[in-house]
Amino acid sequence: MQLDFSYLIKTFWLCIKAIPVTLEITVVSILIAVIPAILISLARIHHIKGVEQLCRIFVSFIRGTPIVLQILIVYSIMPSLLNSLVKNMEWSLNVFDVNPIIYAFVVFGINSTANLSEVFRSAISSVDRGQLEAALSIGETNWQAFRRVVFPQAMVSALPNLCSTTVILIKNTSLAFMMTVREITAVAKIEAAYGYNYVESYIDIFVIYIVLCLVVEYAFRKIEKKVVYRGIKEHRAFVGVY
């Protein structure tokens, strides 16, 4: 089989133009997920009665079901249910006119919430409880102690897993084409359908996703080194070691 290099190059640049959509889904989904994920992790760490069980069920369901199934539920079933509700309430809203990227935000936001809650729970649990107690003993409130002592250290521990979660999310956004979102994979599949040049299209998206993920991993490594170096510097200044 001979590759069509002119098609491969043309489609590559078309896919490049779809990168902002992929990054938008990734960034917005993580931003949506951060606060709920932290709250879920705290509810489970502190064993809040009733809430802990609900959070555990939510996380287990999301992490235990394929993301394709979650897409089908949100994109295929939810609009029909919302449309029935809108009609019953006699609202002048067409649910089916909603931009499909909104559904992508919902699906990947919910999925990221479950994944990040486990990342934050592990990171917060890794901080020595004695430091929290020491902060409380000098008169700080629970919120101040968490914000100033626990959370900064937890974020340092969370960075490697946060990087992995982000990389996985970028790769999972390739399923957004199922919701008619024109991200990288969708553009490649549409172009391939015209001349059945699927091999060239798959090579294009393979290269693009590899580069994207490598760039993200590099960025997280730089952030991690900077944060760790800053922490060591502050610690030395605190104990008087130079």
Q: What is the pLDDT of residues 11-38, one digit of tens each?
A: 999 999 999 999 999 999 999 999 999 9
Q: What is the pLDDT of residues 166-213, one digit of tens each?
A: 999 999 999 999 998 999 999 999 888 887 888 989 999 999 999 999
Tell me the three-class secondary structure of the chain, residue by residue: CCCCHHHHHHHHHHHHCCHHHHHHHHHHHHHHHHHHHHHHHHHHHCCCCCHHHHHHHHHHHHHHCCHHHHHHHHHHHHHHHHHHHHHHHCCCCCHHHCCHHHHHHHHHHHHHHHHHHHHHHHHHHCCCHHHHHHHHHCCCCHHHHHHHHHHHHHHHHHHHHHHHHHHHHHHHHHHHHHHCCCCHHHHHHHHHHHHCCHHHHHHHHHHHHHHHHHHHHHHHHHHHHHHHHHHHHHHHHHHCCC
pTM of the entire structure?
Answer: 0.86
Which pLDDT value is given to residue 1?
61
